[in-house]
Amino acid sequence: MVANYVPAPTFLSPGDTAWQLTAATLVGLMSIPGLAVLYGGLVKKKWAVNSALMVFYAFSMVLIVWVLWGYKMGFGQPLQLGPGILSRIVGIPGPALSSKMLEGRASVPLLNGGMPGLHMPMSSLVYFQFVFAAITPVLLAGSVLGRMNFKAWMLFVPIWATLVYSVNAFMLWGGGWLASLGVVDFSGGYVIHVAAGISGFVAAAVVGPRLTKDRNSFNPNNLLAVVTGAGLLWLGWNGFNGGDPYFANMDASAAVLNTNVAAATALVAWLAMDMMAYNKASLLGAVNGMVAGLVAITPAAGYVNGTGALLIGLAAGVIPWLTMNKLGKVGIFKKVDDTLGVIHTHYFAGAVGGLMTGLLADPHIMEYIGKTGFSVTGLFYGNPKQFFLQLLGLIVITVYDGVMTFIILKLISLVVPLRSSEADLSHGDIRIHGEMVYEEPIPIGLMGGEEVKEQDI
C-alpha cells in the first residue's frame, strides 16, 4: 500500500528546515544536559543537584514564556510605547501557538527594513530562537550558584526572560532601535553573553556571597562531568553560530569554521597564560579559555574571515584571563561573589567579540537572507563607524540589563528571600531538595527539618 503524498509548501526547503531544526537541537543540548552537567561537576558535591535543577527549570519555564508571549516580544510587531526610540524597543506580546502562525512561512527583519521570507515554517524559527532565550538565564545562573533561594529563581527566570531578554532580542534582532542604527550581533554576543554576564554580576551582588567556607573552598566534585559538559558546549556551538544565517549556505559553513578556530585559539592562549603565570596547565583553565573563545566569536562568526576568527580567539584567551586573574582580585570584582566568573568568560569575552566585529568585519563575508545578502564592514576595512556602533550597543545592553536585573531582584525580594537560609547553605541539596548527587546515608533528623551535626557535604 502506497501512502498518499502530501506536497510541501512551495517556499519550503527541506535542507534549510532540517539544518535549522538540527542547529536548534544542538543549541538545546548545550543547556540540557550540557550546562546542567557542567555546573553539576563544577560545584561542591552538596550543590550538584540544585545547580542542575536550576538549569532544567529555566529551560522549561522559558519555553512556556516564549510561546505564550516572549517570541512576539522579541520578533513581533513593535509595541508603541511612545515616539522615536520608544516605538522600537520591544514587540507586542502575544502567543505563538496557532496553526496558522506555526505552519506559515518564517520571516525575519533585515537591517534595511525588509522582511524576507525564509525557506522554513515559522515553527522552526520559533523553536530555534527559543533555545537562545533559554540558555541566557542558564548562563546567568553560573553567577549565583551555591546560595540563591530556589523559590526566588523560579520567579526570577520568567520575569527576566520577559523584561530583559525579549527586549534585547527585539532591539538587536527583531528590527528594533539598535538594529536600525546598524549595530550587529551575529548570534548573541550582546543579546546573550553580555546580558548574562552583567545580569549575573548584578544578581551575585544583590543576592550576596556564598558561605565563607564555600567561597574559600569550592573545588569541583567531578572533573569528568565538567569535560563532558564543556564538550557539549563546544560542539553545540556549531548550531549556535551555524544556524543564524537561517539557511544551509556558505555563510553557515564559514560561521561554523570560525567558531571552532576561535575556540581552539582561545583555549591554547588561556593555557599559555596559565603556564607563564603559574607554570601549570589547568583543565579548568582550558575550559574557561574554550568558553571565552566561543563567546567572543559569537557576535562576529558570520562577519569575519578566518584571520579575524583567529585574532578574536587570541584576544578572548588573553583579555578575559587578565580580567579573571588580575582584575578579579581587586575592587568590586573581588567583593562580588560571581561563583563561576561569568562576568569574565561571558561579559568581557562578549564585549571583546562585539567590539572586534567593529574592527574586523570583512565586507566580502556575507550573511545571506533569501535572495538578498548584506555585508558588514569594520574599521580595518574602511568603516570606522561600525566600531562606534558596536560600542554603543555594548553600553546600551550593559546599562539596561544591569538596571533592570537589579529592579527585578528587589521586587522579588519583597515576596520571597533571594538567599537560601543558613541551614540550607550549610547542607545544600539534601536539605533543599531531599536529594543528593551521590547515594549516601541521610543524616539523622535532616529529613525532619531539624538541625543536623555540621559536616561538609
Asked if omega into 320 is within 30° of 0 (cis), the reply is no
What nine digits make up the cell of 128? 530555534
Helix 385-412 / helix 150-160 crossing angle, nearest 10 deg: 140
User: Using an 8 Å Cβ cutoff, are 401 and 195 in contact?
Assistant: yes
Single-letter amino acid, residue 401: D
What is the residue type of 160?
Answer: W
The angle that helices 283-297 and 349-360 make with each other, rounded to 10 degrees, is 40
Q: Report pLDDT digits (tens) over 91-150.
A: 999 999 988 777 788 887 765 555 667 889 999 999 999 999 999 999 999 999 999 999
pLDDT tens digits for 27-73?
A: 999 999 999 999 999 999 999 999 999 999 999 999 999 999 999 99
Compute the radius of gyration of the chain from its Cα atoms.
22
- Please tell me whether residue 6 adopts helix, strand or coil conformation: coil
- In this structure, are residues 354 and 185 in contact, taking their beta carbons and an 8 Å threshold? yes
Report residue 311 as a C-alpha cell: 585574532
What does the DSSP assignment read for 51-105? HHHHHHHHHHHHHHHIIIIIHHHHHSSBP--SSGGGGGS-BPP-----HHHHTSE
What is the predicted pLDDT for the residue at 186?
95
CB proximity list for 315: less than 8 A, separation 6 or greater:
296, 352, 356
Give Cα 405 to chain centroid, integer Å.
Answer: 15
Half-sphere exposure of 451 (CA within 13 A, CB side): 5
Separation CA 174–CA 417 (nearest Å) = 35
> Which string of DSSP letters, residue by residue, matches 277-346?
HHS---HHHHHHHHHHHHHHHTTTTTTS-HHHHHHHHHHHHHHHHHHHHTGGGSHHHHHS--TT-HIIII
SS3 assignment, position 375: strand
Parts of the chain with a pLDDT under 70: 1-6, 110-116, 369-373, 440-457
In single-letter form, the type of residue at position 378 comes to G
Q: Which pLDDT belongs to residue 84?
A: 82
- Give the CB-side neighbour count of residue 7, counting CA atoms within 13 A: 3
Residue 389: which residues within 8 A CB-CB, separation 6 or more?
181, 182, 183, 184, 358
Residue the block writes with cell 563567546: 295
Q: Domain segments of the chain: what residues?
A: 19-92+117-412
**pLDDT of the residue at 106:** 84
How does DSSP classify residue 217? -
The cell numbers describing 188, all together, are: 548573541
Residue 378 has, within 13 A of its CA and on its CB side, a CA count of 24
CA 408, 412, 417, 420 torsion-angle sign: negative
Q: Which of 374, 405, 426, 381 has the alpha carbon at shortest distance from 116?
A: 374
Q: What's the predicted TM-score (pTM) here?
A: 0.92
Question: How far is the C-alpha of 120 from the C-alpha of 194, rounded, in Å?
Answer: 29
| The architecture CATH gives domain 19-92+117-412 | Orthogonal Bundle (1.10)
CA angle, 379 then 292 then 127, to 5°? 90
Cell 576568527 belongs to: 309
Look at residue 438 in the predicted model and tell me its pLDDT: 82
Nearest to 132 by CA among 96, 185, 181, 53: 185
Question: What gap in Å lies between CA 341 and CA 349, rounded to an integer?
Answer: 11
Q: Is 130 in contact with 71 (CB distance < 8 Å)?
A: yes
